[in-house]
Structure 1
Amino acid sequence: MRNYLLSKCLLFFIAASFLFVPENVQAHGLLTNGNQGYEVSALQEKLKKMGFFYGPVTGYYGAITERAVADFQYKTNLSSDGVAGPATFLMLNDIEQMARVVHGEARGESHIGKVAVAAVILNRLDDPAFPNNIGNVIHQTNAFTAVHDGQYDLQPNSYAYRAVMDAMQGWDPTYGSVYYYNPELATNTWIFSRPSVTKIGNHLFAQ
């Protein structure tokens, strides 16, 4: 799944300053079957929004949580052992940041329009002209309107998370685009100079 996954373990230490990793993971390196507490509840909530966890949020890491973690790991090309360790939480953090951008920038768009915004983030990750990790791509100065107008701080809904998961699994309706904009709202004339690739909903996607 793109070059992105090859550097996940190394980026864990680089991203530690802004990464949300539960205290139990920081102290012991993992959450696993038999653990309980708010860290487990938070994990269950995230997995539920992404469509992996179907049971009640109990704060207990049992067989249902273990299966949900393993399914998530399998879908994101991690070792699917059902144990939530640093690499799993780094992936969850990346997806959380992407979902916030998708929700902020495209919550009024169709599912394909949401996937397209997530795909642009991943395309930038693969482009040497942009930063080489999700957090830096998203927080690059003036990269995404939602980050500097406050919409990034809104809580994403399940549609945003699932759109990100579709993009992470290789769906790119933008055909490699690294820019997008609403031609009715854009004020930066530079963006109009970029070669257009496709239009999805209210957004034009461009190289």
Structure 2
Amino acid sequence: MWFHKKTLTTLLMAMMTIGIVLPTNSLAAPLLQRGSESGDVWDLQYRLQILGFYQDDLDGSYGGNTYQAVRQFQKTYGLTVDGIAGTQTWSKLKKVSVNRSEMQMLAQLVYSEARGEEYKGQVAVAAVAMNRLQSKDFPNTLQSVIFEPYAFTAIDDGQYWLTPNKTAYQAAWDAVRGWDPTNGALYYFNPDTATSSWIWSRPQIKQIGKHIFAR
């Protein structure tokens, strides 16, 4: 899906600054339709803009352009096309996109786990997190995926809390938009440092930089 570079820059700035307070409970499913005005609408627009369906400013107002963006999203993902962001639409949207807080989490994960890797390798790490979000075998929120016990080394050693750079945000953005250099990987590890015999037993897909990606 096409998007203007200015849109990416705008959203990157939103990620790195304090702005509208968005709901953080990713299990909530507010019913939104034409005329709705709230932080939930801003969140909806943010997610749709990342995915390339919504091109306008994020204003928290559910107008005609938001309505059309929701309809296009619904059509693309095989949902009932009614232009209303209800339970079904939110459920799918939260599996394939992130809110601003989750984008921050994803960028921190990328930076802490792969900041020394080539750009493709950084996107790959973010893609693994997104693949886990969409898998029935892992938690159903990005926060739970990232903070699942022993899931990521950077959580255990504290590097997750480092401040990500712009490249990490861009890598997270690209992964959310659907770029998956790993071809569906759910795991990755560094063969030079991995000590778990279990991780070596996973079906390997490819190696990108220092990481081997596996199912």
Q: Taking structure 1 as the reference length, what is the TM-score of the superposition? A: 0.62
Instruction: Identify the match of residue 182 of structure 2 among 157, 174, 179.
Output: 174
Q: Which runs of 5+ in 1 are unaligned?
A: 1-16
Structure 1 residue 119: deviation in Å?
Answer: 4.8
Q: Which runs of 5+ in 2 are unaligned?
A: 1-23
What is the one-letter code of the residue matched to 1:205?
Answer: F
Please state which structure has a larger fraction of its residues in helix: 1
Q: Distance in 2 between matches of 1:121 and 1:48?
A: 17
Structure 1 residue 36: deviation in Å?
Answer: 1.7
Q: Distance in 1 between matches of 2:76 and 2:163?
A: 26
Structure 1 residue 198: deviation in Å?
Answer: 0.7
Query: Which structure 2 residues correspond to residues 1-207 of structure 1 after superposition, within 5 A?
Result: 18-21=25-28, 25=30, 30-94=31-95, 95-96=97-98, 102-106=106-110, 108=115, 109-111=118-120, 114-115=123-124, 117-119=126-128, 122=131, 130-131=137-138, 133=140, 137-145=145-153, 149=158, 151=160, 157=169, 159-166=171-178, 173-183=181-191, 186-190=193-197, 193-194=200-201, 196-207=204-215
CA RMSD in angstroms, aligned pairs only: 3.9
CA deviation vs aligned residue, 1:126-162 (integer Å, no higher than 9, x gap): 57xx347455655432123455547489898465244
- Aligned partners of 1:113 and 1:201 also within 8 Å: no
- Aligned partners of 1:73 and 1:88 also within 8 Å: yes
- Aligned partners of 2:26 and 2:141 also within 8 Å: no
Of 33-42 and 156-165, more deviation after overlay is shown by 156-165
What is the one-letter code of the residue matched to 1:85?
Answer: G
Q: Distance in 2 between matches of 1:125 and 1:63?
A: 30
Aligned residues: 178
Of 44-53 and 153-162, more deviation after overlay is shown by 153-162
Tell me which residue corresponds to 1:3. none
Q: Distance in 2 between matches of 1:89 and 1:154?
A: 30
- Aligned partners of 2:133 and 2:140 also within 8 Å: no
CA deviation vs aligned residue, 1:43-79 (integer Å, no higher than 9, x gap): 2223223322111122221111111122223333332
Structure 1 residue 205: deviation in Å?
Answer: 0.9
1:73 aligned counterpart, secondary structure: helix
What is the one-letter code of the residue matched to 2:123?
Answer: K
1:68 aligned counterpart, secondary structure: helix
Q: Taking structure 2 as the reference length, what is the TM-score of the superposition? A: 0.60
Percent of residue pairs bearing the same amino acid type: 28
